[in-house]
Chain A
């Protein structure tokens, strides 16, 4: 009884939080736009529907673009899920995406492998690099007790400037107006799955595979189990005999690997050259996604779709209306605040608990009376 009611309650609360966040977005749209209703239409249904004079029609290219948008944020979402599950507030997924993209991109330009393995090698090396980077905050946390939050934040900037340094002084194509590398070799480019310019590449398949893998890892293996238990109660895990330190390191290294992989798939799938000159922001979006998915990897693609959809909506809104694309940050912040709020609608929850407990107690009493009041364990 209790469990069912609570599941219903949790779903209701999640929906209410998202609705509220969108409501906040709507308020800003009404404040800033001369044509708020059109803007809202673009935001909410624009991403899959085209409006033409002839009427309304389904737009497959847009849908593909949303799927393409899911690729990097599914990876960072998974990365954050794993790290947050271990109760590690590591925020360096951002830096690892950039590092992965940079390493993958450079290898895409300079490595000579004349087959599809080229791309595979690029992505795998980027994955390893992401994992290695995360060793820094992870080991500092475990060995010295430094806050992984602060060290990972610093690390993001350090990674950015190191990548920028190498890009500018070693790998830049001087013939171009802005700073970028020479073009990737065709063998390194992640192939598209559909015709057109949507950038929906093989990356989306890898992302979904990674989701399945990580979901299994977290819920069907001893390591994932340890990570989750440590995240729930570190003392309990220590006392049960789990290797707390190495598991905390493992969680962050896996997070870094996922982020690195996502970064390289994005760079090699979306662009012809490496050209990121700032942190791409996918790491932060990953946190939003992990919150929406409640740290459960299985829900990450759904959450990533939702965010990619909103992203596309905001993009359309800024293209065809007068609402800046940064609307997405306001909506995301609101999702963050309401969705992660434990006490959001708590009064309602407490009433449910009290009601259920009263019923349980009454049931117990009745049962006891029926049994003649003899046993009461």
Chain B
């Protein structure tokens, strides 16, 4: 196959989901044989949708796909696999109770005497491919029992065994340790040398610079440019990703922290696979300050927030707000203490999608006296409250009785934020508050967060968007492998330094870390 031949061409692809979200609008995307091609863009830029279309998981609303020079119509992954396209998903597509070998041969199991699975052959096949591509796995281990890095290798093997020549990897490094990432890159380069084509989706600019040959940048459901990796700087990429019109600085005064609101003391959490995900975490959040938590996703941030909002029970340790323990407390009581929470997964925890905007706005306060007269709701009061919030947070909608699920991502998040910010909270836990939403909503939410903190609220900000935490936080805690790797309160930080702590290259002394607690 000639080096410059285009193996995949996607022309004028558009995708409108049944809820009316236009995830792709007239997208063009092409990949040359034998290259590692980065597909990059913010959350919600439409990368995943585009790749799902290429892999036959979603059908495009319009446009055409050409693979190896011939037009194709994929109606399922089977069609894509047949044309030599394989995908490694962000969330592993593995069946936990099956063994590695069973997962690898799923859907193409070798048979003996026509009817039965030839398990031995499946194991042999796994071993053979694992050796050929230098991807070491244990064929007979149950997938539930193996580490993330090995699961990823299983995923790659799955694609290779099926004859994939083009591999799509959707944010493969998000859950990997540093060593695992290094290993993965080595393996991917080896695959490239063997003539495979790789499409690499990522947010991490340094990885893209290190690994890829060309870059396609997406923004807001459209392609904004295709570049040779060597010809473009990280700053330029970042500018194209977020769009030049966005200036991501938020004006804020110096913080004047007062009393401790949230005190977390020696918090430990062990997950269902017996992995210690939180390991002796101690810190404070004080009134009037924003404490940011930075870290590569999967280093304990998720579990910290879940424990604080009583969605999980810690193994040991304490978390108190105004001296009262949050551990195991019913959510209603936590809210009564003045805690509000912007959940990361807004469609699961933030809203009830087929309920109206109004019903979503009042979900934390409908029990209050001012909205009830005897057994009945004061409908007028509810309407008034909702209309006020819609105006205050400029939610773009037809009326308060519109289904919230019909709104755009940004406006859905505005509904969540309007509810959470308007309950006079003394502590706000904001988990990825601007993930995957438009620039306007992002700016608004960030501005409000600063305003609330300056008015005296304590804010705990968890975000995978490094720019966001660095920009908004008054002090910064970096999580690495369930522990605090560093605490910074001088405002003197940059992404390079953060990266070193986030990736475990550096770690502060215990004394320095202990400064995070003001108790």
Instruction: Point out residues on A near B: beta carbons under 8 Å.
Output: 2-3, 216, 220-222, 225-226, 228-229, 232-233, 235-243, 349-350, 353-354, 356-358, 360-361, 375-377
Task: Tell me, rounded to whole Å, the shortest Cβ–Cβ distance linking A372 to chain B.
Answer: 14
- On whether A233 and B352 interact (CB within 8 A), knowing A225-B377, A240-B331, A354-B16, the answer reads yes
Q: How far is the CA of A235 from the CA of B351 in the complex (A)?
A: 9
Interface string of B168-193 (1 = CB under 8 A from A): 00000000000000000000000000
B20 touches A377 (CB 8 A): no
Task: Tell me, rounded to whole Å, the shortest Cβ–Cβ distance linking A270 to chain B.
Answer: 33
Q: How far is the CA of A3 from the CA of B331 in the complex (A)?
A: 34
Q: How far is the CA of A229 from the CA of B35 in the complex (A)?
A: 50
A353 touches B366 (CB 8 A): no
Query: Which residues of B lie under 8 Å from residue A2 when comparing CB positions?
Result: 20, 406
- On whether A222 and B372 interact (CB within 8 A), knowing A229-B359, A240-B364, the answer reads yes
A216 touches B18 (CB 8 A): no
Q: A350: nearest residue on chain B (CB-CB)? A: B18
A242 touches B332 (CB 8 A): yes
Which of B18, B348, B394, B439 has a CB less than 8 Å from the CB of A233?
A: B348
Query: Which residues of B lie under 8 Å from residue A229 when comparing CB positions?
Result: 352, 355, 359, 363
- Across the A-B interface, give the 3 residue pairs with the lowest CB-CB distance, nearest first: A377-B440, A241-B332, A240-B363
B375 touches A221 (CB 8 A): yes
Using A232-B354, A236-B348 as known contacts, list a sample of 6 further A-B pairs with CB atoms less than 8 Å apart, ordered by residue number in A.
Answer: A225-B366, A241-B336, A242-B363, A353-B18, A354-B61, A377-B394
B440 touches A221 (CB 8 A): no
Instruction: Point out residues on B near A: beta carbons under 8 Å.
Output: 16, 18-20, 22, 25, 61, 309, 311, 330-332, 334-336, 341, 343, 348-355, 359, 363-364, 366-367, 371-372, 375-377, 379, 394, 396, 398, 402, 406, 438-441
Q: How far is the CA of A357 from the CA of B18 in the complex (A)?
A: 10
Query: Which residues of A lie under 8 Å from residue B20 when comparing CB positions?
Result: 2, 353, 356-357, 360
A232 touches B372 (CB 8 A): no
B334 touches A376 (CB 8 A): no
B376 touches A236 (CB 8 A): no
B376 touches A241 (CB 8 A): no
Task: Tell me, rounded to whole Å, the shortest Cβ–Cβ distance linking B394 to chain A.
Answer: 7
- On whether A241 and B334 interact (CB within 8 A), knowing A2-B406, A229-B363, A232-B354, the answer reads yes
Q: How far is the CA of A353 from the CA of B221 in the complex (A)?
A: 18
B349 touches A221 (CB 8 A): no
Q: How far is the CA of A237 from the CA of B353 in the complex (A)?
A: 12
B352 touches A237 (CB 8 A): yes
- On whether A243 and B332 interact (CB within 8 A), knowing A221-B375, A357-B22, A377-B440, the answer reads yes
Which of A354, A356, A357, A377 has a CB less than 8 Å from the CB of B441?
A: A377
Task: Tell me, rounded to whole Å, the shortest Cβ–Cβ distance linking A22 to chain B.
Answer: 29
B376 touches A221 (CB 8 A): yes
B331 touches A241 (CB 8 A): yes
Q: How far is the CA of A360 from the CA of B396 in the complex (A)?
A: 13
**A–B complex contacts, Cβ < 8 Å, 9 sampled:** A220-B379, A221-B377, A232-B353, A240-B363, A350-B18, A353-B18, A353-B19, A357-B16, A361-B25
Which of A239, A350, A354 has a CB less than 8 Å from the CB of B309?
A: A239
Task: Tell me, rounded to whole Å, the shortest Cβ–Cβ distance linking B506 to chain A.
Answer: 36
B363 touches A228 (CB 8 A): no
Q: B372: nearest residue on chain A (CB-CB)? A: A222
Query: Which residues of B lie under 8 Å from residue A242 when comparing CB positions?
Result: 332, 363
Q: How far is the CA of A229 from the CA of B377 in the complex (A)?
A: 15
A236 touches B364 (CB 8 A): no
Query: Which residues of B lie under 8 Å from residue A220 when comparing CB positions?
Result: 376-377, 379
Query: Which residues of A lie under 8 Å from residue B363 when comparing CB positions?
Result: 229, 236-237, 240-242
Q: A224: nearest residue on chain B (CB-CB)? A: B377
Q: B367: nearest residue on chain A (CB-CB)? A: A222
B364 touches A233 (CB 8 A): no
- The majority secondary structure among interface residues of chain A is helix
Query: Which residues of A lie under 8 Å from residue B343 when comparing CB positions?
Result: 239
A228 touches B355 (CB 8 A): yes
Task: Tell me, rounded to whole Å, the shortest Cβ–Cβ distance linking B71 to chain A.
Answer: 22
Q: How far is the CA of A222 from the CA of B438 in the complex (A)?
A: 34
Query: Which residues of A lie under 8 Å from residue B406 when comparing CB positions?
Result: 2-3
Task: Tell me, rounded to whole Å, the shortest Cβ–Cβ distance linking A285 to chain B.
Answer: 26
Most buried by B among A225, A350, A360, A375: A225
Which of B16, B25, B359, B438 has a CB less than 8 Å from the CB of A225?
A: B359
Which of A222, A237, A239, A361 has a CB less than 8 Å from the CB of B377?
A: A222
A361 touches B22 (CB 8 A): yes
Most buried by B among A240, A243, A361, A375: A240
B349 touches A239 (CB 8 A): yes
A233 touches B351 (CB 8 A): yes
Q: B309: nearest residue on chain A (CB-CB)? A: A239
Q: A360: nearest residue on chain B (CB-CB)? A: B20
Query: Which residues of A lie under 8 Å from residue B377 when comparing CB positions?
Result: 220-222, 225
A236 touches B350 (CB 8 A): yes
Query: Which residues of B lie under 8 Å from residue A236 when comparing CB positions?
Result: 348-352, 363
Task: Tell me, rounded to whole Å, the shortest Cβ–Cβ distance linking B186 to chain A.
Answer: 40
Q: How far is the CA of A376 from the CA of B396 in the complex (A)?
A: 12
Which of B18, B61, B438 has a CB less than 8 Å from the CB of A349?
A: B18
Task: Tell me, rounded to whole Å, the shortest Cβ–Cβ distance linking A341 to chain B.
Answer: 15
Most buried by A among B19, B352, B353: B352
- On whether A3 and B438 interact (CB within 8 A), knowing A233-B348, A242-B332, A357-B20, the answer reads no
Query: Which residues of B lie under 8 Å from residue A377 when comparing CB positions?
Result: 394, 396, 438-441
Q: How far is the CA of A2 from the CA of B398 in the complex (A)?
A: 10
Query: Which residues of B lie under 8 Å from residue A237 when comparing CB positions?
Result: 352, 363
B351 touches A216 (CB 8 A): no
Q: How far is the CA of A220 from the CA of B358 in the complex (A)?
A: 13
Query: Which residues of A lie under 8 Å from residue B61 when comparing CB positions?
Result: 354
Task: Tell me, rounded to whole Å, the shortest Cβ–Cβ distance linking B324 to chain A.
Answer: 15
Most buried by B among A241, A358, A361: A241
Q: How far is the CA of A238 from the CA of B332 in the complex (A)?
A: 8
Q: A228: nearest residue on chain B (CB-CB)? A: B355
Query: Which residues of A lie under 8 Å from residue B309 when comparing CB positions?
Result: 239
Q: How far is the CA of A353 from the CA of B394 in the complex (A)?
A: 25
Task: Tell me, rounded to whole Å, the shortest Cβ–Cβ distance linking A230 to chain B.
Answer: 9
Query: Which residues of A lie under 8 Å from residue B341 when comparing CB positions?
Result: 239
Most buried by A among B341, B350, B394: B350
B18 touches A3 (CB 8 A): no
A241 touches B16 (CB 8 A): no
Q: How far is the CA of A220 from the CA of B378 in the complex (A)?
A: 8
Q: A239: nearest residue on chain B (CB-CB)? A: B349
Task: Tell me, rounded to whole Å, the shortest Cβ–Cβ distance linking B139 to chain A.
Answer: 36
Query: Which residues of A lie under 8 Å from residue B311 when comparing CB positions?
Result: 239
Q: How far is the CA of A2 from the CA of B21 in the complex (A)?
A: 13
Query: Which residues of B lie under 8 Å from residue A361 when comparing CB positions?
Result: 22, 25
A232 touches B22 (CB 8 A): no
Task: Tell me, rounded to whole Å, the shortest Cβ–Cβ distance linking B378 to chain A.
Answer: 10
Query: Which residues of A lie under 8 Å from residue B438 when comparing CB positions?
Result: 377
Task: Tell me, rounded to whole Å, the shortest Cβ–Cβ distance linking B17 to chain A.
Answer: 8
Task: Tell me, rounded to whole Å, the shortest Cβ–Cβ distance linking A216 to chain B.
Answer: 7
A3 touches B398 (CB 8 A): yes
Q: A233: nearest residue on chain B (CB-CB)? A: B352
A233 touches B353 (CB 8 A): yes
Task: Tell me, rounded to whole Å, the shortest Cβ–Cβ distance linking B456 to chain A.
Answer: 22
Query: Which residues of A lie under 8 Å from residue B353 when comparing CB positions?
Result: 232-233
Q: How far is the CA of A237 from the CA of B351 in the complex (A)?
A: 9
Query: Which residues of B lie under 8 Å from residue A376 when comparing CB positions?
Result: 440
Which of A222, A243, A358 has a CB less than 8 Å from the CB of B366?
A: A222
Task: Tell me, rounded to whole Å, the shortest Cβ–Cβ distance linking A254 to chain B.
Answer: 13
Q: A349: nearest residue on chain B (CB-CB)? A: B18
Task: Tell me, rounded to whole Å, the shortest Cβ–Cβ distance linking B42 to chain A.
Answer: 16
Task: Tell me, rounded to whole Å, the shortest Cβ–Cβ distance linking B308 to chain A.
Answer: 12
B349 touches A232 (CB 8 A): no
Q: A225: nearest residue on chain B (CB-CB)? A: B366
Task: Tell me, rounded to whole Å, the shortest Cβ–Cβ distance linking B441 to chain A.
Answer: 7
Q: How far is the CA of A353 from the CA of B363 in the complex (A)?
A: 29
Task: Tell me, rounded to whole Å, the shortest Cβ–Cβ distance linking A148 to chain B.
Answer: 21
Q: B354: nearest residue on chain A (CB-CB)? A: A232
